[in-house]
Amino acid sequence: MTIDEALRACERMNREDIAVTLDALGESVTTEAEAEASANVYHAMLDALAARGLNANVSLKLSQMGMDFDAALAERIVGKLVEHASAVNSFVRVDMEGSPYTEATIAMTERLQACGDGAGRVGTVLQAYLYRTEADAELLLGQGIRIRLCKGAYNEPAEIAFPQKTDVDANYVKLAKRMMTSGVFCGLATHDGAIVEKLLAFVRERSVPKNAFEFQMLYGIRRDLQRRLVKLGFGVRVYVPFGPEWYPYFMRRLAERPANVLFLLKNFLKS
């Protein structure tokens, strides 16, 4: 619920040689004051992570920073956070929301990366279920922008997203292999054991360095797989969401895609 509790979770993960990204929950703010308050939480986290010497960075959503009513405000707020991250040797991940945000999120990340303090200190997320993602990945990799690749959690229409899970999975593996060999350090966010096995086989076949990328997973989900990957010598980072906004966050995820909840319940049993 609090920054201190999130930091303690981070410390526990670090003791297991697992890195962390912290996400202070909250979306779709409606005033500048709310957006600035959200940013202040992230500034406090960046300072606390640096003070404690933790292997962690932060993830944020643009709708949490005022994107819905003032795009310039959101970019100014996130730009200050990227500057702060640079000053304390950290990193800001701009999370991806639904498809109405895709173009603006990518464009803002490009602009922040191009700024003096932003190079190497900001990245974003691409979703494998969108048809456009292969082109977006090439665009970002060409600029050295770090990507977190996920399958995608929002309920998108078939006009812009693969409707079949098999097609999403195939595209995920294709894109992941491209990122693993791109020379840009990317995060492969998946709990799918079958996909992980395909990527491990690719590492062996192509002699991909284990430090060329990292696996990313949710805090508390597939801890068995997280620990196995660490023992194999791969980098693992867990995504730790926290804060009092957990209930609306959960309900939005449930409304967007009910299968997500079933997935979480099934995988808690594998922890």
Q: Which residues are catalytic?
A: 95, 148
Q: How far apart are the first and last CA of the chain?
A: 21
- The pairing of strands 92-94 and 186-189 is unpaired
CA distance 230 to 233: 5
Amino acid at 265: L
CB 109 within 8 A of CB 95: no
The structure tokens listed for 249 are: 């966050």
**HSE of 19, CA atoms in CB hemisphere, 13 A:** 16
CA distance 112 to 77: 11
The secondary structure of residue 31, as a DSSP letter, is S
